[in-house]
Structure 1
Amino acid sequence: MGRRRTVHKKLPAHMHRKGNSYYFVQMVDGRRSWVPLGNDLAIARLKWAELTNIGDAEVEDITFAVAVARYRRDALPAKAAKTQEEYDRALDRLLAVFGKMPLDLIIPQYVRKYLDERKAKVAGNREKAVLSTVFNHAREWGYTKAANPCAGVKGNTETGRLRYIEDQELLAVLDHACRPLRDAMEIAYYTGQRPSDVLKLKRTDIREGTLFFRQKKTGTALRFAIDGPLFDVLLRITTDPIQIPAGAVRSLYLIQNEEGQQLGYRALNYRFNKACKAAGIPDFQFRDIRGKAGTDTEDVTGLGHAQRLLGHKNRKMTEHYIKERLGYRVAPTPKLLIKQKKRA
């Protein structure tokens, strides 16, 4: 039995990291052989899976861990980087519970118990979805004929975020925002887009009087007319850019840090949380700006415009997204029931 890992515990068996590179380590003629797998973890996993002959395993020996290893090799690399990171976390948690179990023995009762015992209820729902995805792939690969154990198992109850940001709250945070954060917040509000989509905008996305978005989550393409407040923001960004050190190379990204490079997602959150704390509004999340943009747009120009702004595929989704935050605007009952006394 090999020694228990003390570092890089998430790597599969026989894969080791040395410096920035990954290796497949095995004993050959009594000596350790280090087979290089490269410095890209996704590619390293592919090579590792080939060396361990995952595809040749006997069906009756297929455990959930084997299915996960092939999923990480064949399916996970095709997803976006952030999605890969989220799935990796979910897979690690699932492996700790189901890893050694043969696929045929994973039944709905075990999935229900997993959800009930998971303290983070929303995360548990996401992990159930990942479990279901891996199981469906395992069925396609011929690893099991069993039904998907997640089918019919109801997820934990989720309550969507209902926070509506008032105008004065948004303005207060903007007053404490650094220049990169202010640029990002204003574009996010005037376009109603997610922070990840705002951060990836480049100067080349300004085309023929419009600002072009392709939403990362849905693939929806949107073109925003550059006029009004959005025009003012883009004019400031493009004609009065952030000052960067002499000799530094400025990137094409619209939202830049003080080095002229793309502002990262974590850096955005750090700066945003710092500004919220300084403004005395700790329960404000950057994603709330998108909810406020949709709600404010619907209040002025109607639900159809709000739906197009947010890139939702159907009206019902937009209606739920907006009305849960601020409620319907309704008129009082028009019938006069009690006559008002005339004032003297």
Structure 2
Amino acid sequence: MGRRRAGDDPLNLAGTRLSWRWNKFWYRHRDGRWEKVGTDVAEAKRKAAIYNGDRRDYGTMAYWLDEFLLDCDARVASNDLAKRTRDDYEENAVELKVFFGKMTPEAVTPELVQLYLDEGKRAGRAVRANRERACLSSCLSWLIRKGKTTIRINPCMRASGIQRNTEKPRDRYVTDEEYLAVYDCAPAPVRLMMELVYRTLQRPESDMTGWTAANVRRRGDQKVLRVTQNKTGQVLEIELTGRLLEMIEQAIGPNPVLHQPIVHTADGNAYTYSGITSMLTRAQAKARKRKGLENMPSFGFRDLKGKGATDLWLSGERIERIQMLCGHRHKSTTETYVKARWRETVAPNSIQPGQKNVA
């Protein structure tokens, strides 16, 4: 094999230990091992810079957050971490690098973490600041476990004295009247999405848009919908019966295309979540005009998961079954989730003081 011509390096990979093979970038470690580092050249070079040890910010939180993400990549590859969680970490790390990026882990104190939370609240991003604190906490805990820092107590934990920003739980309950009115005004893909969320209680934004005919399996005489919950990594098989079976079979047709999304466009492609959400928003606007619901608050597909869980609870279904469908780790989370959405009128205390019945 002849030598590569001078200048034959359009991606400027020289000195990075990166190679482009089989439509991917590969990094060659010093022990001879090759590692896939993705298809994006900037991301591949970022990882190579960390492995090569030639970053000028070595030892800072910016550096360690990137190292933490690399460890998360390895955990995703070994099915030890959900990809959704890893992606959330990467998103949350952006603002963390702005505030903490030039500090060493030892310089991150509970006072600074509290300041970060307080500034986030003042900026109108209280909940996002909470999520970013959780990401920072996970990174610092990883550093402590790996022995890469001298700190021994995580400054992000409540034991350090910090107080997270108060979060108001989502409590929008979509009434039957609202659901049916919007359903009647919605196009077929939105109707399908509405029913899938309501009946399966899965996460529409992270899981459902990726379901295909391949998720429909057979267990003996029973068809099931086999899904992997992106957030938890839990594999769940949902029985396909009644209306759920009918609408999925109608969506995939008599000759299913294996990897075609169940909720798909006219040409068979997947919808983006923002795209199909916009269609739901337009259907609500039509329902307000046509169905006399001018004051109907907006709702999203995620609210239909809450409606489905609440309706199951009101029908007497066991909370453990609802918990399994929702993918909640703790039963108390499911109880809070459904009860926050239900508004029931109760009779007041009618006992007259001094006239109580004594058993």
Alignment TM class, shorter chain as reference: 0.7 to 0.9
TM-score after normalising by structure 1: 0.75
Q: How does 1:215-226 map to 2 (within 5 A)?
A: 215-226=229-240
CA RMSD of aligned residues (A): 3.3
Residues 330 and 193 of structure 1: CA distance in aligned 2, closer, same or farther (over 3 Å): farther
> Partner of 1:300 in structure 2?
315
* CA distance in 1 between partners of 2:281 and 2:67 (Å): 39
> Partner of 2:28 in structure 1?
none
Check if 1:116 corresponds to 2:121.
no
SS of the counterpart of 1:326? coil
> Partner of 2:31 in structure 1?
none
Gapped regions of structure 2 (runs ≥ 5): 1-9, 26-38, 289-295, 354-359
Residues 69 and 194 of structure 1: CA distance in aligned 2, closer, same or farther (over 3 Å): closer
Gapped regions of structure 1 (runs ≥ 5): 1-20, 27-32, 243-248, 338-344
SS of the counterpart of 2:238? strand
Check if 1:256 corresponds to 2:264.
yes
CA deviations over 1:37-77 (Å, ceiling 9, x no partner) = 743355443222123346xx99xx72212212322333246
TM-score after normalising by structure 2: 0.72
> Partner of 1:71 in structure 2?
68
Check if 1:310 corresponds to 2:326.
yes
* CA distance in 2 between partners of 1:298 and 1:101 (Å): 49
Q: CA deviation at 1:236?
A: 2.1
State whether residues 212 and 262 of structure 2, in contact with CA within 8 Å, keep that contact through their aligned partners in structure 1.
Answer: yes
Match of 2:300 among 249, 263, 285: 285
> Partner of 2:189 in structure 1?
180
Q: CA deviation at 1:221?
A: 3.3
State whether residues 173 and 276 of structure 1, in contact with CA within 8 Å, keep that contact through their aligned partners in structure 2.
Answer: yes
Residues 82 and 226 of structure 1: CA distance in aligned 2, closer, same or farther (over 3 Å): closer
Match of 1:202 among 181, 187, 212: 212
Q: How does 1:153-192 map to 2 (within 5 A)?
A: 153-192=162-201
In the alignment of these two chains, the number of paired residues is 301
* CA distance in 1 between partners of 2:265 and 2:347 (Å): 48
State whether residues 46 and 74 of structure 1, in contact with CA within 8 Å, keep that contact through their aligned partners in structure 2.
Answer: no
Residues 299 and 310 of structure 1: CA distance in aligned 2, closer, same or farther (over 3 Å): same
SS of the counterpart of 2:236? strand
State whether residues 306 and 337 of structure 2, in contact with CA within 8 Å, keep that contact through their aligned partners in structure 1.
Answer: yes
Match of 1:97 among 99, 107, 118: 99
Q: CA deviation at 1:34?
A: 11
* CA distance in 1 between partners of 2:240 and 2:18 (Å): 54
CA deviations over 1:8-40 (Å, ceiling 9, x no partner) = xxxxxxxxxxxxx975688xxxxxx99767433
CA deviations over 1:132-187 (Å, ceiling 9, x no partner) = 11112222343311132112222111111011001121122222322222211111
Q: How does 1:231-250 map to 2 (within 5 A)?
A: 231-239=245-253
CA deviations over 1:113-137 (Å, ceiling 9, x no partner) = 1100112000000000111111122
* CA distance in 2 between partners of 1:44 and 1:312 (Å): 38
